[in-house]
Structure 1
Protein backbone atom coordinates (compact mmCIF):
# COMPACT_ATOMS: atom_id res chain seq x y z
CA UNK A 1 0.00 0.00 0.00
CA UNK A 2 2.19 2.78 -1.31
CA UNK A 3 -0.50 5.38 -0.73
CA UNK A 4 -0.06 4.92 3.02
CA UNK A 5 3.57 6.00 2.81
CA UNK A 6 4.06 8.89 5.24
CA UNK A 7 7.49 9.89 3.99
CA UNK A 8 7.26 13.26 2.25
CA UNK A 9 9.79 14.87 0.03
CA UNK A 10 11.06 18.25 1.23
CA UNK A 11 9.77 19.94 -1.92
CA UNK A 12 6.24 18.68 -1.34
CA UNK A 13 6.15 19.94 2.25
CA UNK A 14 7.66 23.27 1.23
CA UNK A 15 5.11 23.65 -1.55
CA UNK A 16 2.32 22.93 0.95
CA UNK A 17 3.78 25.52 3.35
CA UNK A 18 3.99 28.05 0.50
CA UNK A 19 0.32 27.51 -0.33
CA UNK A 20 -0.63 27.74 3.36
CA UNK A 21 1.38 30.95 3.83
CA UNK A 22 0.09 32.65 0.69
CA UNK A 23 -3.57 31.74 1.20
CA UNK A 24 -3.75 32.47 4.94
CA UNK A 25 -1.53 35.54 4.79
CA UNK A 26 -3.37 37.03 1.81
CA UNK A 27 -6.77 36.36 3.34
CA UNK A 28 -5.68 38.03 6.57
CA UNK A 29 -4.01 41.01 4.91
CA UNK A 30 -6.72 41.71 2.32
CA UNK A 31 -9.92 40.77 4.17
CA UNK A 32 -8.98 42.03 7.62
CA UNK A 33 -5.81 44.12 7.79
CA UNK A 34 -6.33 46.30 4.71
CA UNK A 35 -9.89 47.13 5.75
CA UNK A 36 -8.67 48.22 9.18
CA UNK A 37 -5.75 50.15 7.67
CA UNK A 38 -7.91 52.12 5.22
CA UNK A 39 -10.78 52.57 7.69
CA UNK A 40 -8.60 53.36 10.70
CA UNK A 41 -10.23 56.70 11.60
CA UNK A 42 -13.76 55.38 11.29
CA UNK A 43 -13.02 52.25 13.31
CA UNK A 44 -11.24 54.24 16.03
CA UNK A 45 -14.18 56.67 16.23
CA UNK A 46 -16.66 53.78 16.59
CA UNK A 47 -14.73 52.48 19.58
CA UNK A 48 -12.50 49.55 18.55
CA UNK A 49 -11.99 46.98 21.30
CA UNK A 50 -9.29 47.82 23.84
CA UNK A 51 -8.69 44.56 25.77
CA UNK A 52 -5.25 45.60 27.10
CA UNK A 53 -6.44 49.07 28.21
CA UNK A 54 -3.79 50.92 26.19
CA UNK A 55 -6.23 53.06 24.23
CA UNK A 56 -8.45 52.42 21.23
CA UNK A 57 -6.00 53.86 18.68
CA UNK A 58 -3.07 51.90 20.09
CA UNK A 59 -5.09 48.66 20.10
CA UNK A 60 -6.28 49.25 16.56
CA UNK A 61 -2.76 50.21 15.46
CA UNK A 62 -1.30 46.99 16.85
CA UNK A 63 -4.09 45.00 15.18
CA UNK A 64 -3.36 46.70 11.84
CA UNK A 65 0.35 45.96 12.30
CA UNK A 66 -0.41 42.29 12.87
CA UNK A 67 -3.23 41.74 10.40
CA UNK A 68 -1.73 43.70 7.51
CA UNK A 69 2.03 44.12 7.82
CA UNK A 70 2.83 40.83 9.58
CA UNK A 71 0.45 39.00 7.22
CA UNK A 72 2.35 40.42 4.22
CA UNK A 73 5.59 39.17 5.81
CA UNK A 74 4.01 35.72 6.14
CA UNK A 75 3.03 35.73 2.44
CA UNK A 76 6.61 36.62 1.51
CA UNK A 77 8.10 34.15 3.96
CA UNK A 78 10.11 36.99 5.51
CA UNK A 79 10.84 36.76 9.25
CA UNK A 80 7.98 34.28 9.27
CA UNK A 81 8.32 32.88 12.76
CA UNK A 82 8.50 36.37 14.24
CA UNK A 83 5.67 37.66 12.05
CA UNK A 84 3.21 35.00 13.18
CA UNK A 85 3.56 35.91 16.87
CA UNK A 86 1.58 39.21 16.64
CA UNK A 87 -0.92 37.43 14.39
CA UNK A 88 -1.39 34.68 16.97
CA UNK A 89 -1.91 37.27 19.71
CA UNK A 90 -4.48 39.09 17.55
CA UNK A 91 -6.29 35.82 16.82
CA UNK A 92 -6.31 34.88 20.52
CA UNK A 93 -7.88 38.26 21.32
CA UNK A 94 -10.40 37.80 18.50
CA UNK A 95 -11.26 34.25 19.57
CA UNK A 96 -11.27 34.56 23.35
CA UNK A 97 -12.23 38.22 23.89
CA UNK A 98 -14.32 39.30 20.90
CA UNK A 99 -15.98 35.92 20.37
CA UNK A 100 -15.89 34.62 23.98
CA UNK A 101 -14.02 31.45 23.00
CA UNK A 102 -16.83 30.31 20.71
CA UNK A 103 -14.54 28.21 18.48
CA UNK A 104 -17.40 26.35 16.80
CA UNK A 105 -19.47 29.49 16.24
CA UNK A 106 -18.54 33.11 15.61
CA UNK A 107 -14.91 32.56 16.59
CA UNK A 108 -14.35 29.75 14.12
CA UNK A 109 -12.36 31.83 11.60
CA UNK A 110 -10.12 33.28 14.30
CA UNK A 111 -9.52 29.75 15.60
CA UNK A 112 -8.60 28.44 12.17
CA UNK A 113 -6.21 31.37 11.57
CA UNK A 114 -4.71 30.76 15.01
CA UNK A 115 -4.09 27.09 14.14
CA UNK A 116 -2.51 27.99 10.78
CA UNK A 117 -0.19 30.55 12.35
CA UNK A 118 0.75 28.10 15.10
CA UNK A 119 1.72 25.54 12.45
CA UNK A 120 3.87 28.14 10.69
CA UNK A 121 5.52 29.06 13.99
CA UNK A 122 6.39 25.42 14.69
CA UNK A 123 7.36 24.30 11.17
CA UNK A 124 8.68 27.51 9.62
CA UNK A 125 8.09 28.93 6.14
CA UNK A 126 9.62 26.15 4.06
CA UNK A 127 12.25 26.45 1.35
CA UNK A 128 10.13 28.63 -0.96
CA UNK A 129 10.50 31.73 1.17
CA UNK A 130 12.62 34.83 1.55
CA UNK A 131 13.81 33.47 4.90
CA UNK A 132 15.39 30.51 3.12
CA UNK A 133 16.78 32.69 0.30
CA UNK A 134 18.36 35.15 2.72
CA UNK A 135 19.66 32.33 4.94
CA UNK A 136 21.76 30.85 2.12
Structure 2
Protein backbone atom coordinates (compact mmCIF):
# COMPACT_ATOMS: atom_id res chain seq x y z
CA UNK A 1 0.00 0.00 0.00
CA UNK A 2 2.85 2.36 0.80
CA UNK A 3 4.28 1.91 -2.72
CA UNK A 4 0.99 2.98 -4.28
CA UNK A 5 0.78 6.15 -2.20
CA UNK A 6 4.48 7.01 -2.32
CA UNK A 7 5.45 10.04 -4.43
CA UNK A 8 8.84 8.44 -5.17
CA UNK A 9 9.27 6.80 -8.54
CA UNK A 10 12.09 4.71 -9.83
CA UNK A 11 13.59 5.90 -13.07
CA UNK A 12 12.62 2.63 -14.75
CA UNK A 13 8.97 3.28 -13.94
CA UNK A 14 9.19 6.75 -15.48
CA UNK A 15 10.91 5.31 -18.56
CA UNK A 16 8.16 2.70 -18.98
CA UNK A 17 5.48 5.39 -18.68
CA UNK A 18 7.31 7.54 -21.24
CA UNK A 19 7.48 4.56 -23.61
CA UNK A 20 3.74 3.91 -23.24
CA UNK A 21 2.98 7.62 -23.68
CA UNK A 22 5.22 7.91 -26.76
CA UNK A 23 3.86 4.83 -28.51
CA UNK A 24 0.25 5.56 -27.61
CA UNK A 25 0.18 9.21 -28.64
CA UNK A 26 2.18 8.51 -31.82
CA UNK A 27 -0.12 5.71 -33.00
CA UNK A 28 -3.22 7.77 -32.21
CA UNK A 29 -1.87 10.82 -34.05
CA UNK A 30 -0.94 8.69 -37.06
CA UNK A 31 -4.64 7.84 -37.42
CA UNK A 32 -5.19 11.56 -38.07
CA UNK A 33 -2.07 12.13 -40.14
CA UNK A 34 -2.24 9.22 -42.59
CA UNK A 35 -5.60 10.30 -44.12
CA UNK A 36 -4.13 13.80 -44.54
CA UNK A 37 -1.06 12.29 -46.23
CA UNK A 38 -3.39 10.41 -48.59
CA UNK A 39 -5.22 13.69 -49.29
CA UNK A 40 -1.90 15.42 -50.01
CA UNK A 41 -0.74 12.67 -52.39
CA UNK A 42 -4.14 12.06 -53.97
CA UNK A 43 -5.55 13.20 -57.29
CA UNK A 44 -8.44 15.14 -55.75
CA UNK A 45 -7.93 18.90 -55.21
CA UNK A 46 -6.89 19.65 -51.62
CA UNK A 47 -9.74 20.63 -49.31
CA UNK A 48 -7.81 22.05 -46.35
CA UNK A 49 -7.82 25.48 -44.71
CA UNK A 50 -4.97 27.84 -45.51
CA UNK A 51 -3.50 29.18 -42.27
CA UNK A 52 -1.86 32.58 -41.67
CA UNK A 53 -1.68 33.40 -45.37
CA UNK A 54 -0.24 30.02 -46.36
CA UNK A 55 -1.80 28.12 -49.24
CA UNK A 56 -4.06 25.19 -48.37
CA UNK A 57 -1.56 22.75 -49.92
CA UNK A 58 1.37 24.12 -47.91
CA UNK A 59 -0.73 24.17 -44.71
CA UNK A 60 -1.63 20.54 -45.36
CA UNK A 61 2.03 19.71 -46.03
CA UNK A 62 3.08 21.23 -42.68
CA UNK A 63 0.29 19.37 -40.90
CA UNK A 64 1.28 16.08 -42.54
CA UNK A 65 4.92 16.68 -41.58
CA UNK A 66 3.90 17.14 -37.95
CA UNK A 67 1.25 14.42 -37.72
CA UNK A 68 3.09 11.73 -39.71
CA UNK A 69 6.85 12.37 -39.72
CA UNK A 70 7.08 13.78 -36.19
CA UNK A 71 4.76 11.06 -34.86
CA UNK A 72 7.00 8.36 -36.36
CA UNK A 73 10.04 10.02 -34.74
CA UNK A 74 8.24 10.08 -31.39
CA UNK A 75 7.14 6.46 -31.84
CA UNK A 76 10.78 5.36 -32.05
CA UNK A 77 12.03 7.91 -29.54
CA UNK A 78 14.24 9.73 -32.01
CA UNK A 79 14.49 13.47 -31.41
CA UNK A 80 11.39 13.33 -29.24
CA UNK A 81 11.76 16.78 -27.70
CA UNK A 82 12.30 18.41 -31.08
CA UNK A 83 9.56 16.35 -32.77
CA UNK A 84 7.07 17.41 -30.08
CA UNK A 85 7.35 21.08 -31.04
CA UNK A 86 5.66 20.91 -34.49
CA UNK A 87 2.93 18.72 -33.03
CA UNK A 88 2.24 21.17 -30.21
CA UNK A 89 2.17 24.05 -32.72
CA UNK A 90 -0.16 22.09 -35.02
CA UNK A 91 -2.54 21.38 -32.14
CA UNK A 92 -2.43 25.01 -30.98
CA UNK A 93 -3.35 26.11 -34.51
CA UNK A 94 -6.16 23.54 -34.65
CA UNK A 95 -7.57 24.60 -31.28
CA UNK A 96 -7.13 28.37 -31.42
CA UNK A 97 -7.47 29.09 -35.14
CA UNK A 98 -9.34 26.34 -36.97
CA UNK A 99 -11.82 25.55 -34.18
CA UNK A 100 -11.81 28.99 -32.54
CA UNK A 101 -15.55 29.58 -32.92
CA UNK A 102 -16.54 25.93 -32.53
CA UNK A 103 -17.93 24.45 -29.30
CA UNK A 104 -15.47 23.23 -26.68
CA UNK A 105 -16.06 19.60 -27.70
CA UNK A 106 -14.35 20.37 -31.04
CA UNK A 107 -11.30 21.76 -29.23
CA UNK A 108 -11.03 19.09 -26.57
CA UNK A 109 -9.04 16.51 -28.57
CA UNK A 110 -6.48 19.08 -29.67
CA UNK A 111 -6.07 20.26 -26.09
CA UNK A 112 -5.62 16.67 -24.90
CA UNK A 113 -2.87 16.14 -27.48
CA UNK A 114 -1.12 19.31 -26.30
CA UNK A 115 -1.17 18.02 -22.72
CA UNK A 116 0.23 14.68 -23.91
CA UNK A 117 3.06 16.27 -25.91
CA UNK A 118 4.16 18.66 -23.15
CA UNK A 119 5.67 15.92 -20.93
CA UNK A 120 7.51 14.53 -23.97
CA UNK A 121 8.85 18.01 -24.70
CA UNK A 122 10.07 18.43 -21.12
CA UNK A 123 11.17 14.87 -20.25
CA UNK A 124 12.26 13.54 -23.64
CA UNK A 125 11.92 9.96 -24.78
CA UNK A 126 13.30 8.05 -21.80
CA UNK A 127 15.56 5.01 -21.65
CA UNK A 128 13.57 2.85 -24.04
CA UNK A 129 14.25 4.90 -27.16
CA UNK A 130 16.60 5.32 -30.09
CA UNK A 131 17.81 8.59 -28.54
CA UNK A 132 19.01 6.72 -25.47
CA UNK A 133 20.47 3.86 -27.51
CA UNK A 134 22.37 6.20 -29.81
CA UNK A 135 23.57 8.26 -26.84
CA UNK A 136 24.81 5.10 -25.11
CA UNK A 137 26.65 3.94 -28.24
CA UNK A 138 28.15 7.39 -28.71
CA UNK A 139 29.34 7.48 -25.09
CA UNK A 140 30.92 4.03 -25.45
CA UNK A 141 32.72 5.12 -28.62
CA UNK A 142 33.92 8.27 -26.88
CA UNK A 143 35.23 6.32 -23.87
CA UNK A 144 37.19 3.92 -26.12
CA UNK A 145 39.23 6.78 -27.63
Aligned to 1:11: 12
Contact 1:36 1:43 survives alignment (8 Å): no
Change (3 A) 1:101 1:16: farther
Size of the alignment, in residue pairs? 135
- Displacement of 1:47 in angstroms is 3.3
Change (3 A) 1:126 1:89: same
Aligned to 2:48: 48
Distance in 1, Cα, partners of 2:46 & 2:38: 14
Distance in 1, Cα, partners of 2:101 & 2:92: 9
Aligned to 2:106: 106
- Displacement of 1:67 in angstroms is 0.3
Aligned to 1:118: 118
Contact 2:40 2:46 survives alignment (8 Å): no
Q: CA RMSD in A?
A: 1.9
Distance in 1, Cα, partners of 2:118 & 2:47: 29
Distance in 1, Cα, partners of 2:10 & 2:101: 37
Aligned to 1:23: 24
Q: 5+ unaligned residues in a row in structure 2: which ranges?
A: 137-145
Task: Provide the secondary structure at the position in 2 that maps to 1:39.
Answer: helix
Taking structure 2 as the reference length, the TM-score comes to 0.86
Q: 5+ unaligned residues in a row in structure 1: which ranges?
A: none
Task: Provide the secondary structure at the position in 2 that maps to 1:54.
Answer: coil
Taking structure 1 as the reference length, the TM-score comes to 0.91
Task: Provide the secondary structure at the position in 1 that maps to 2:106.
Answer: coil
